[in-house]
Structure 1
């Protein structure tokens, strides 16, 4: 099975008023760390190895999860200083022997079938397969534009602030190692801005519009909503 990389080094700055002194993925949701629910969802998808990219107060995560979580073998990839999403993924990729990995955020629950991502990767020449979610208003996130016909190649990213319905980047990817490492030229960089956006014309980024539910606990209102929504999403 393809391994998963989970970005779990977030500080949770916007949640400090309700979740002090914890890495953001360890914020409690229905009595368990949010990351517990993310890991449970990975286990449900058949993933057997997960690489947790950890930084801020990483010992809290390491002490809680240890080396295994159910059927998952847990590895820790440490950021001694913040490397950005791209740097964190690159460091984790260096630990993986295979040529691809699922990548997701440890502070977002995205319900998408990994089999759909694998099928999209297998049916074309994708460098990156990206899960996208349809929202009535994309202003908070920015939008992803892609061809209507298969393989649904991503053609543009629109900046935050533009209102209206559309698709957003749901933060779950099937990432191929070779094309990613081709553009890794520095230790600290943003996966979204410095890789996806900067090299979109050269990359084959294919969209999978199959996200049924999504919740990001990055702001207090959504964190409150997660208390009841997430357990229902990870049944």
Structure 2
């Protein structure tokens, strides 16, 4: 068994639950999938993070039933068919990442993901598919004032996540995709950052991009003009993203975007009755404690190299300015949505503690 009964229960929803509830279930174990069953517990569909992404980008209401966006009649294996060879063949031949196992009544009893298997052949196939030939820029020049007084002593990129600084954790997250070249923009406490990078064996090529003065969240990118020739990632040094980076990159390239924002779903419940008005100022209705869904900027992006030409030299320039400049030039700016729990913001105390807990570092 690959999933315990408790985990399988977390990953299983009924057809009538909302899309929002399905997202919350998917976020629990970061497998990028939930199983959908009918009232009798029989598997009727599967919902992947790709299905959710398409629904969100098409402005589907998240309070709608999950049955409206799930994939019906998913590929599944019965318990007596689920040998490793059979599973391997299905995953490879059909390009699947998840395979439900059902009993003789069609009820889910297990869920196999591609990375559960030890097959060297499968791992070779997946590794080739997921490999990224790109650079990563980590923006690490800020003061980290939200983590004061911690950052009076340590620069923000060296704030620890377990036994490693967050800067190194970000690099580790990219390495499974074959990424081994990083630019790190630095300004505040840059000498300490340089000393740390020179003292550890990161098994990667790391180049410092030094700002003599603060240049905003995008200004330092001017220093890599001409040094990158393919789309590349930019990520703030206090951001950890639990998503498939190959999917993010492919989304950017296949849609022809000049810049892609990785956005996290957030929902907010207004703790009051909200008055909705008619055009003449009269009351239409009162909605009790309504929930609103938003997509917020996580601080991770994919940029095409030509947008670097839009960054002015030697002045403060933020990523929002760059996005506006791309749009003014007629370029396409995309959004890649991820679940709420897939974004860990280590740059403020409450979120830093949550990140440590979710990553098992406390």
Q: Shorter chain as normaliser: what TM range?
A: 0.7 to 0.9
Q: Which secondary structure state, in structure 2, belongs to the residue aligned with residue 84 of structure 1?
A: coil
C-alpha offsets along residues 9-50 of structure 1, whole Å, 9 cap, x if unaligned? Answer: 121112122343221111122232121211111213321100
- Count of residues in correspondence between the two structures: 207
Report if the CA contact (8 A) 1:39-1:69 is conserved: no
How far apart in 1 are the matches of 2:134 and 2:360? 25
How far apart in 1 are the matches of 2:269 and 2:230? 33
Of the three residues 192, 204, 210, the one matched with 1:78 is: 210
The structure in which a higher percent of residues are helix is: 2
Q: Cα–Cα, structure 1 residues 11 and 46, in superposed 2: closer, same or farther, change >3 Å?
A: same
Task: Please report how far the alpha carbon of residue 53 of structure 1 lies from its aligned counterpart in structure 2 after TM superposition.
Answer: 0.5
* 1:94 counterpart residue number: 225
List gaps (5 residues or longer) in structure 2. 1-132, 271-290
TM-score, normalization by structure 2: 0.52
Where do 4+ consecutive residues of structure 1 move more than 4 Å?
A: none
* 1:208 counterpart residue number: 336
* 1:219 counterpart residue number: 348
Of the three residues 101, 113, 119, the one matched with 2:250 is: 119
How far apart in 2 are the matches of 1:138 and 1:63? 46
Report if the CA contact (8 A) 2:252-2:260 is conserved: yes
C-alpha offsets along residues 142-196 of structure 1, whole Å, 9 cap, x if unaligned? Answer: xxxxxxxxxxxxxxxxxxxxx9321112221110111331x22342233332111
Task: Please report how far the alpha carbon of residue 3 of structure 1 lies from its aligned counterpart in structure 2 after TM superposition.
Answer: 0.5
Of the three residues 162, 178, 193, the one matched with 2:320 is: 193
How far apart in 2 are the matches of 1:223 and 1:19? 13
* 1:157 counterpart residue number: none
TM-score, normalization by structure 1: 0.78
How far apart in 1 are the matches of 2:134 and 2:213? 27
Q: Cα–Cα, structure 1 residues 190 and 90, in superposed 2: closer, same or farther, change >3 Å?
A: same
Of the three residues 112, 119, 137, the one matched with 2:268 is: 137
* 1:175 counterpart residue number: 303
Task: Please report how far the alpha carbon of residue 6 of structure 1 lies from its aligned counterpart in structure 2 after TM superposition.
Answer: 0.3
Q: Cα–Cα, structure 1 residues 68 and 115, in superposed 2: closer, same or farther, change >3 Å?
A: farther
Report if the CA contact (8 A) 1:15-1:218 is conserved: yes
List gaps (5 residues or longer) in structure 1. 140-162
Report if the CA contact (8 A) 1:101-1:176 is conserved: yes
Larger radius of gyration: 2
How far apart in 2 are the matches of 1:90 and 1:186? 7
Task: Please report how far the alpha carbon of residue 107 of structure 1 lies from its aligned counterpart in structure 2 after TM superposition.
Answer: 0.8
Work out whether 1:9 is the aligned partner of 2:137. no
Report if the CA contact (8 A) 2:311-2:317 is conserved: no
Report if the CA contact (8 A) 1:43-1:71 is conserved: no
Q: Cα–Cα, structure 1 residues 226 and 200, in superposed 2: closer, same or farther, change >3 Å?
A: same
How far apart in 1 are the matches of 2:154 and 2:226? 26
- Structure with the bigger RCO (C-alpha within 8 Å, sep 6+) is 1
Q: Which secondary structure state, in structure 2, belongs to the residue aligned with residue 209 of structure 1?
A: strand
Q: Cα–Cα, structure 1 residues 70 and 218, in superposed 2: closer, same or farther, change >3 Å?
A: closer
Q: Which secondary structure state, in structure 2, belongs to the residue aligned with residue 131 of structure 1?
A: strand
How far apart in 2 are the matches of 1:25 and 1:225? 18
Report if the CA contact (8 A) 1:48-1:73 is conserved: yes
